[in-house]
Structure 1
Amino acid sequence: MPRGLRSLFQKGFHRHGSAKDREGAKEQEQDGCDVRTVTTGRFPASRERKDATHVSAASIDISRPIPVSEPTSPKGIPTATSTSTPRLPAAPPTDSSDIELSADADGATAGLPVRLWDRAYNDLKQEEPELVDAYEKILSRQLEDGPGSAVPESQPNTIAQNNSDARRRQMAQLIYAGLDKTEREFKIKEGLGVAVDVVLSARSIISSAIQAVPQAALPWTGICVALEMLANPITATEANRNGIDYVVKRMNWYWSLSSSLFKHSDGHGSELSGVRRELENQFVDLYKAFLLYQVKSVCCYYRNRGLVFLRHMVKLDDWNDDLNAIRDAENLFHQDSKAFTAQQTNSYLEQLFRNQMSEKDQQCLRDLRLTDPRDDKIRIEQTKGGLLPDSYHWILDNSGFQRWRDRPESSLLWIKGDPGKGKTMLLCGIVDELERGIVASGQNHNLAYFFCQATDSRINNAIAVLRGLIHLLVRQQPSLLSHLRKKYDDAGKSLFEDTNAWVALSDTFGKMLESPDLKTTYLIIDALDECVADLPKLLDFIVHVSSDRVKWLLSSRNEPDIERKLRCDERRARLSLELKRNAEQVSRAVDAFIDDKLSKLELLQDDTVLKNRVRDILHKKANGTFLWVALVVQELNKEEVESWHILQIVEELPPDLDGMYDRMLNDIKRRERDSEFCRRILSTATVAYRPLHLAEIGGLSGLPEQVLKSMENVRRVVAKCGSFLTIRDDQLYLIHQSARDYLSERASTLLFPCGVAMTHHDIFIRSLHLMSNKLRRDMYSLGAPGCPIKNVRVPDPDPLAAVRYSCLYWVDHLYHSVSDTSTHRDDLLQDDRVVHTFLKTKYLYWLEALSLLRAMSEGVIAIRQLEGLLVSMKPQNGGKSD
């Protein structure tokens, strides 16, 4: 903490008295006591000190500099306080070892707490220039004429804006002086409030008594209204004095917290730098809320008292609401800071884990990692617009969830619900809460999770689920890696990829979960219905894992096959989101989701009546479906929508997902000039094996060259595809699995007029064309053919960007474009046709591209798949196939 500010809080304030007072002070100084030094106590003051010597804050000389020396308050000198005036608590001492040094605005060296305070003040000054200017004019007048002086309209702002240390001291002094200035007024209101409370408490009795005298009813009603209005200033003053005490104390606490919370980490700090910056920005926002409360309070203390009385009478200054907003911001910050602390802890542990691992261990984990579920979770939350606590908090109070979480005998909970009910975000919230609980309680538990998505071949199969869960589990409990190493040392990377991968991984994972040293472990799998490969095997594995230390949390749609496999009983429970009591909770969560989205809709910000009407309509139509609300909000956010369109749009929107999808598809059909482009993009995105990049979708869907010449052109065409698609970091995603189901089934006649196989064929042909044009020798200009792949850095721009997908999946599209009855299959695979020609001219370049993409194993699988197609070809004209 800066020396000046520390001096302010620990030394107290100077007072000016008569010569006799100064003489007495001099004598006491000789006895080791300094009457100028006051220990700031906690509010409210003890009754035992009521008669203690009181240093009036109104007698402070704000312009007088506070000495740098720092004597402590001697024993025997009473605390300067009163029974009604809140005291600013002493700031904690600053440990210079915990401060990140930076240059302050005035050239002095300042600590991290100082920098955060200054950022908050400067930001507040930009956001509330009139309010802060009024505050600084008050301060200017106090510096010129002393505390308590009136502030004229013509008062200039003479505050030095580059002296941040003085700003902090002066704010504290102004609050003291303002509280003392209004203390007599508060005592009068306090006494008046007692009388008003007595009358209002007897209102019902008096009202009953005068019912027999009708002519007295109207005057009595007027008296009650007047008394209630009179009570408002009384309660407002008390609320402010209590609030300012809370705000100053909490700000001092956060001042001390900032040094330890935001201290730079060594070794792994860069991994969390983005999260740290976001949390620091949130910390500054919290500081701004504190400063805003203090600035408004100072302006209130020095404003014309009659005007203040009138403002409080009509509740223009609602101090309780302001304080509640601060507390809400604190709660949110506490949640996020806990998550940040947990990430810091995990980062430390992972760094320690990596340091202790052998190179062989690290290589094993690199080969195991297909995707990091932690990254998938962040991506999913960002794609869906962020995780809203009110959308999942209800589950924490659900008895079924609590039983699963807390009771050893409850080993499995299956959460099931219809599409769009928010299951994925519900599980994201549960993961966050479990992580916070583990960190806060110091429990030695493991938490591993996986999010299935049918539209992404990397995370839509049972093997990928096991790889993701093992990846997270081993990072938290490294000793379990020994079970995996036994098989990995023999097989290498092929252990995770060959035809026996499921057998090997399920056996290994089973041994991990049965290990006697396994900690209590939460295993969470979202969207089981989107596990399109080997789901029955995965369900059998889950059911047969018997360990009191393993708890499974699963989610899926209402699929009968899943229900039959899980065989719910005393140990395995299900939680249906359609069950009445749960449906009511989901509906309330959806209502909170609607309120949050409408609060951010710019077109509704200046029309409260319209916002309320739209909210009411959406509440009635949403039917407990988050996805429906998200689609509506996207519709309202379109550039062509005006505020006068909104009510008509929400009234016309169908109240179900399929109806919304029908409407979106009809809008695409009406785009005469671009409807064909949209059809191509949607059909390509629907059958693709993973989300496509903007650089890939244009060429694979066959858009014309005038569109492909600019990435922005492709983005604009994608935007014309309604709300079926969303873009995140230039990656294209279908908005939801239900959208893919709709496009594959109900919209199949429009998207796939010649059948899905023909779309696969078109993507296959375009992939060969793109690779033939793009692939060449030494794509990354490495110069040295033997360069280790770990040393390769991807150029910017990446010359493989447009063909990454094609290199990996062209054989898959070929496979699904042909069948035993296909009339064009043999034409594709005959000598000197497209496949043969590509392999003759580009085979080595394709292998090089696969190597640069770190996907040689996928290339091996593709060659085997291609070989299988050739072997199964029927001989033509009685001849033999080669």
Structure 2
Amino acid sequence: MRLLRRSGTGDFSLTPFSDDAIPPYAILSHTWGADTEEVTFDDLTNGTGKNKAGYEKIQFCREQAALDDLEYFWIDTCCINKADKPELSQAIKSMFRWYRNATRCYVYLSDVSTTSIPPNRKKNNEDYNPLLWESDFRKSRWFTRGWTLQELLAPCSVTFYSRERKRLGDKSSLGQHIHEITGIPTSALQGSLLSQFTVNERLSWREHRQTKLKEDMAYSLQGIFGVYVAPIYGEGAATAFKRLMGEIDKLENCIQHLRLTDPRDDKKRIEGTKGGLLDDSYRWILENSEFRQWRNDPQSRLLWIKGDPGKGKTMLLCGIINELSKSIRQTHQLSYFFCQATDSRINNATAVVRGLLYLLISQQPHLVSHIQKYDHAGKALFEDANAWVVLSEIFAHILQDLSLNSTYLAVDALDECVTDLPKVLDFIVLMSSISSRVKWIVSSRNEAYIEQKLQLNDSGIRLSLELKENAAQVSHAVHAYIDHCLSELPEIAHDQLLQDSVRDKMQQKANGTFLWVSLVIQELKKVPEGMMGWEARQILEEVPTDLKDVYRRMIEQITRLRSQYPELCRQVLSTVLATYRPLHLQELHVLSGLPTKVQNVNQATTAIVKMCGSFLTIREANVYIIHQSARDFLSKEAKHELVPYGIGNVHQSIFSRSLQVMSTTLRRDIYSLGALGFSAKNIKPPDLDPLAASRYSCIYWVNHLCDWKSNSSADHSITLQDIRAIDNFIREKYLYWLEALSLCKSISEGVVSMERLEAVIQVIHQSLNLIVKDARRFIMYHKLAIENSPLQTYASALVFSPKRSLIRDLFKKEEPKWITMKPAIGDAWGACLSTLEGHSETVRSVAFSHDSTRLASASDDCTVKIWDASSGACLSTLEGHSETVRSVAFSHDSTRLASASDDCTVKIWDASSGACLSTLEGHSGEVTSVAFSHDSTRLASASGDCTVKIWDASSGACLSTLEGHSGEVRSVAFSHDSTRLASASGDCTVKIWDASSGACLSTLEGHSQWVTSVAFSHDSTRLASASGDCTVKIWDASSGACLSTLEGHSQWVTSVAFSHDSTRLASASGDCTVKIWDASSGACLSTLEGHSQWVTSVAFSHDSTRLASASYDCTVKIWDASSGACLSTLDVGSALENISFDATGLYLYTTRGTISINATGLVSTPIAIDPQTPEYKGLGLSSDRTWITHDSKKLVWLPSEYRPMCLAAALGKTIGIGVGTGRVSIFEFQPNIG
């Protein structure tokens, strides 16, 4: 970063700084005047620019910085060397961060004056009044510029000044005005995380804003979204915005996949289950000497709070997090994580890092750039066996990133990190020693192992809650907690004598333990109304002071319950002990085996939970163990009462009940989504969730099977009955289970489950092992499809599974009946999983016959293949060419096929038998193009040998060799009456030939560079040619006279097309424009601007009212052919070489499918239109080539090896796809698709 340094003499100089040494600085926000009036980097380095108008702003910023005692300041006009492209790119990337990190931001409003007086005010009343400038303030140009949006939101301190340098106010005092002007929520103006606002909400803030360079409207939003797109000026606003949205989508997906849990939600849940956070229970620590040292001393980077169970460590950390959140500046970040041993999602080292990363990246999205492997690995990066290695490395890089704000990291309950705790401890110690801008605060029980690993040195501080001075503070906090709890018990709160008695007794016995107080209060809450006076004293006399004795007393109370309730409580407590996460009431009811004949499952289960002493608590219908110490007691001291036959027996029961509930509830399309392509990320469980009771079972049933096996003796191993249950479930419910896993966002867990199931079953039962092995391959191969769209379980997954797949065979009834022809698939897993094998290299071209019955493909493997478009069978492999086959073309009567090759030959094939009818030899250079005449009697070929040949399409005889060109012939075209042929050449000429005799009728000279394209008018009277000399010429097709030279393009012209009424001509160019010309006069009627890259093809609708253009910017634009207005911009996802309208003008034919023009929302006036997703009529491909679509609705997900790497063709009910490995896949669908 380069800053301006002010001197005492009033001068200033440029001073560069590395990112780790930037001093405090002020920054200017303003609107640019004319470029010639702004002081530039060159002006400052050359000592010029003092006479420019912009110099006044520099002086203002310097003087204001001096008043704020800041030595350095920054201004965009002169601190960036814009001639240095890498520096400019880096500056754009860093701009948001530079404004955010500024100590002061001064907004200079050159169009707001504090001296202007409304006309109705008298001269003698000129006192300063905000009303004098408020109107100007609201209308200020500053609020309409694109770049000023981030300059408003990024800095902590934003102060506004008039052109007289008078302070108008700051972002806080003027917040309501700014909100009304911009529509930006006041919370965003006050510094709330921008990531808390939706993408669409943030995009709406750009409305009514403009930038001088159209691409900057996208680039100026980078910081708002925390992404980066390299500036490419000249690409156009649409392309820049498309790239921006692509980066935003990647960021959103990454954060979504990174999220295992949201620690903010965990914090709310913990506070809720513990009765809320009481200020007096934690505020003592804010004045604690160890805490203050950690907070204020830059060298103290690690604080460890340790204490016995129930001492309030977790709530203490919740309070500290709240205080840090309120007091830290916008330039600081806070991330935290709560370990919980009872929840397998958040009790391991990887979960700790994921949780901390999730919150950090949510606050500073640009840090996601460190997760570069994500783009390739996807969600697996966060879940596979190497997750800790990769994530800890990413986290370490982030913590050392110079762009990372000063950061506080908090981890609660390290002792509850069940898996890989040593890794977490080592990581914390290492990072606290090397990252100076990061402070850690952690808590745990008094465990020697943790103390040994932390090895606190000069950078670490230990805060023990048992130390005398701290214990006294904790005791005072507990007393405050007692007072708070008693105030919420009406019978005690309204009886002062009883309140004093109960308080005194609780303070005597609490021993500084919050948990003890909480357990006693829970028991007091159960006292019947009117009995509190006697019962409260009795309870306090009986309840022990030691936590374990309190728990023992609770167990004894359970055993004294009447009837069947002790056993029901035992079932509930043992189930809670054995499960891997807190259970929903409906899940607990099923897995505990509670009575089913109840009117309300939730109410019945809640009643049993409340009978389980105070071991359990319910929050939002989920059941939690009250504290880790309670879990420890139940699993150790009380295990004989709860699990008399061992924990393995409990796992067996949960496994068995899981299979039962899944078999009962799972079915196809359980959420009634309907559409096969319904995206998983758009799915929310319905209010009456049919998976509520089985959600846990879907994810964990195999885990319980494995834990049953590992915790059971040989006498209690898996029985034949259990084998049958598993076998029946897979045979009858497997696909429904996969759908449910996707709905639960747990497909990855399903993959692991099948791997574990295979490992368990393979040594027990051979036949079951075969189906389990196939089921594992099924989920592994189709994981991505099902994960993204649950109902692709029944489409893509079945269609693209091997023929001998047991799962495919078992569930063939679920396959879509409307796919009448599917691509041929290998017989077994592990074999080549390709369709229509044959081509061994890139497929260059695919084309349907005109009767739609066959498909031809040309390949770099020197072959042509003809496929039956109905059956998908390869009818013929046409071998004979010795080099790349570049092009194929069917005759218009569909009886013959021509192929052009780099081996200098053209071959004509019988389209039915595949027999080679003729090898047309004669060219001495590669054949670049072939074209049949419209009456199918002749074939023309163009070649690099500078000739055109006309062949008899029946006999293959060379009718004529058309010589005369001195350069490569690039294109040939027959006139619509088939009497003439035109050829375009690199020799800068066009020749018109008699298609019968081969005589050269005219040589059309005039172009000064190569001719790229030729086209006859539909009445065959005129010919148009496009050239690299940036011109189009219109010629008289009979005389060869040049009727017009159409000049105006600034780069080569790539394509020309006549309107069907032959009155207009359209040209496409490398200058990113399309021009419409009067075909008679040659006048330019319209210049159609909007594409950001080469325009490759143009086509008129048959009624000549509209024009379509295709471009390398991956869009198709529809234009009004009369007015030149852009009616629609279609984002097709890739460049299209050829487009054409159908006869009705309602559809546009492309190699990606048939686009419905009416469905794109055409407009009748020229406006700036953001790219739309085109509406395809009939079959097509999605823009990212991952889906076969019908009427733009997603039908079938394509596995990666089945996606088109080159070309695809869709016609009628059939779609053919050529892939880079040399295969062609053909699908045929019934009319009633979906």
Give the TM-score, by structure 2 length.
0.43
For residue 724 of structure 2, what is the aligned residue in structure 1?
833
CA shift, 1:613, in A, is 1.1
**Counterpart-to-counterpart distance in 2, 1:389 and 1:671:** 38
Per the TM alignment, residue 266 of structure 1 is displaced from its structure 2 partner at its CA by: 9.3
In the TM superposition, residue 574 of structure 1 has moved relative to its aligned partner by 1.1
Change (3 A) 1:753 1:793: same
CA separation in 2, counterparts of 1:597 and 1:799? 39
Mark the CA change 1:96 to 1:640 in structure 2 (over 3 Å): closer, same or farther: farther
State the Cα deviation string for residues 388-439 of structure 1 (Å, max 9, x = none): 010001111111111111111111111100000000000000001111111x
Instruction: Note the 1:280-429 alignment, pairs <5 A.
Output: 347=196, 353-354=224-225, 358-429=248-319
How many Å apart are 1:643 and its aligned residue?
2.1
Offset of residue 832 of structure 1: 5.0
1:596 to 484, 488, 491: 484
* Corresponding residue for residue 637 of structure 1: 525
What's the counterpart of residue 4 of structure 1?
Answer: none
Q: CA deviation at 1:550?
A: 1.4
Alpha-carbon distance between aligned partners in 2 of 1:349 and 1:874, rounded to the nearest angstrom: 52
Task: Check conservation: 2:569, 2:609, Cα contact below 8 A.
Answer: yes
Alignment partner, residue 301 of structure 1: none
The aligned residue for residue 359 of structure 2 is 472
For the 8 Å contact 2:191–2:330, the answer to whether it is kept is no
Aligned equivalent of 2:649: 758
Kindly tell me: are residues 684 and 820 of structure 1, through their superposed partners in 2, closer, same or farther at Cα, counting changes over 3 Å?
Answer: closer
Q: How far apart are 1:577 and its partner, in Å?
A: 0.5
Distance 1:729 1:821 in 2: 35
Equivalenced residues, count: 562
Equivalent position SS for 2:359? helix
Native 8 Å contact 2:575 2:650 kept in 1: yes
Give the letter for the 2:500 counterpart.
N
- Matched with 1:494 is 380
Please say if residues 648 and 711 of structure 2, whose CA atoms lie closer than 8 Å, have aligned partners that are also in contact: no
Quick one: which of 688, 699, 702 aligns to 2:579?
A: 688
The alpha carbon displacement at 1:370 in A equals 0.6
The residue that corresponds to 2:683 in the other structure is 792
Q: CA deviation at 1:828?
A: 4.1
Within a 5 Å distance, the mapping from 1:794-813 to structure 2 comes to 794-813=685-704
Show CA shifts across 1:536-589 (max 9, x none): 111111111111111110000011111111001211221111111111110010
% identity of equivalent residues: 53
CA distance in 2, matches of 1:874, 1:832: 8
Give the stretch that moved more between structures: 708-717 or 747-756: 708-717
- Is this contact kept in 2: 1:828–1:835, CA < 8 A? no
- The one of 727, 731, 738 equivalent to 2:629 is 738
Higher strand share: 2
Matched, 1:652 2:652: no
Give the letter for the 1:643 counterpart. M
* Cα deviation digits, residues 626-682 of structure 1 (max 9, x gap): 010011111111152622221222122111211111111111110032111111011
Higher normalized helix content (fraction of residues)? 1
What residue number does 2:16 align with?
Answer: none
| Cα distance in structure 1, aligned partners of 2:711 and 2:573 | 28
In structure 2, C-alpha distance between the alignment counterparts of 1:752 and 1:708, rounded to whole Å: 29
Check whether the contact 1:480–1:512 (CA below 8 A) recurs between aligned residues.
yes
Query: For residues 272 and 415 of structure 2, what CA distance do their matches in structure 1 show?
Result: 22
Q: Which residue of 1 aligns with 2:1151?
A: none
Provide, for residues 818-868 of structure 1, a one-character-per-residue CA deviation record: whole Å limited to 9, x for no partner: 139633676347895221221112111111111111211111111111122
Q: Among residues 742, 747, 756, which one is paired with 1:856 in the alignment?
A: 747
CA distance in 1, matches of 2:528, 2:174: 45
Q: Which has the higher contact order (CA 8 A, sep 6+)?
A: 1
- The amino acid of 1:466's aligned partner reads V
Per the TM alignment, residue 685 of structure 1 is displaced from its structure 2 partner at its CA by 0.9
- Displacement after TM superposition at 1:348 (Å): 5.8
Which of 425, 446, 452 is the matching residue for 2:333?
446
SS, match of residue 818 in structure 1: helix
Moved more, 524-533 or 343-352: 343-352
RMSD: 3.3
**Contact in 2 for aligned 1:604/1:610 (Cα 8 Å):** yes
> 2:189 and 2:183 mapped to 1: Cα distance?
17
Given the superposition, is the C-alpha separation of residues 830 and 713 from structure 1 closer, same or farther in structure 2, using an over 3 Å criterion?
Answer: closer
Which structure 2 residues correspond to residues 532-611 of structure 1 after superposition, within 5 A?
A: 532-545=418-431, 546-611=434-499
2:402 to 495, 501, 516: 516
Distance 2:425 2:365 in 1: 26
What is the distance in 1 between the residues matched to 2:182 and 2:441?
Answer: 36
Determine which structure has more spread, i.e. the larger CA radius of gyration.
2
Separation in 1 of the partners of 2:682 and 2:363?
29
Residue in 2 that maps onto 1:870: 761
AA matched with 1:567? Q
How far apart, CA to CA, are the structure 1 residues paired with 2:421 and 2:588? Answer: 29
C-alpha distance in 2 between matches for 1:539 and 1:755: 33
Deviation of the 1:780 alpha carbon? 1.2
Q: Which residue of 1 aligns with 2:414?
A: 528
Q: Would you say the 8 A contact 1:268–1:348 is kept in 2?
A: no
Q: Could you tell me whether the CA contact under 8 Å between 1:708 and 1:714 is conserved in 2?
A: no
- Distance in 2, matches of 1:340 and 1:396, equals 29
The answer for the alignment partner of 2:323 in structure 1 is 433
Deviation (angstroms), 1:709:
4.9
Report the 3-state secondary structure (helix = DSSP H, G, I; strand = E; otherwise coil) of the residue aligned with 2:614.
coil
1:593 offset after TM fit, Å? Answer: 0.5
**Is contact 1:590-1:625 (8 Å) kept?**
yes
Secondary structure of 1:382 counterpart: helix
Counterpart Cα distance in 2 of 1:349 and 1:848: 28
Partner residue in 2 for 1:777: 668
CA distance in 2, matches of 1:391, 1:724: 23
Measure, in 2, the Cα distance between the counterparts of 1:751 and 1:264.
63
The alpha-carbon distance between structure 1 residues 632 and 791, as it changes in their structure 2 partners (threshold 3 A), is same
Deviation readout 1:243-296 (Å, 9 max, x if unpaired): xxxxxxxxxxxxx999969999998979x9xxxxxxxxxxxxxxxxxxxxxxxx
1:514 Cα deviation after fit: 1.4
Superposition deviation, residue 710 in structure 1: 3.3
Q: Is the contact made by 2:589 and 2:601 (CA closer than 8 Å) also made in structure 1?
A: no
Alpha-carbon spacing, 1:787–1:344, altered in 2? closer, same or farther (3 Å): closer
Pairing partner for 1:616 from 492, 500, 504: 504
The residue correspondences of 1:195-274 to structure 2 (distance < 5 A) are none
Aligned mates of 1:632, 1:262 — CA distance in 2: 53
- 3-state SS of paired residue (1:371): coil
Equivalent in the alignment of 2:350: 463
Tell whether the 8 Å contact from 1:828 to 1:834 is kept in structure 2 after alignment.
no
SS of 2:346's equivalent in the other structure is coil
In the aligned structure 1, how far is the partner of 2:705 from the partner of 2:657?
Answer: 11
For 2:618, what is the secondary structure of its paired residue?
strand
| TM-score normalised by structure 1 residue count | 0.60
How far apart in 2 are the matches of 1:469 and 1:812? 27
Q: Is the 8 A contact 2:348 2:417 kept in 1?
A: yes
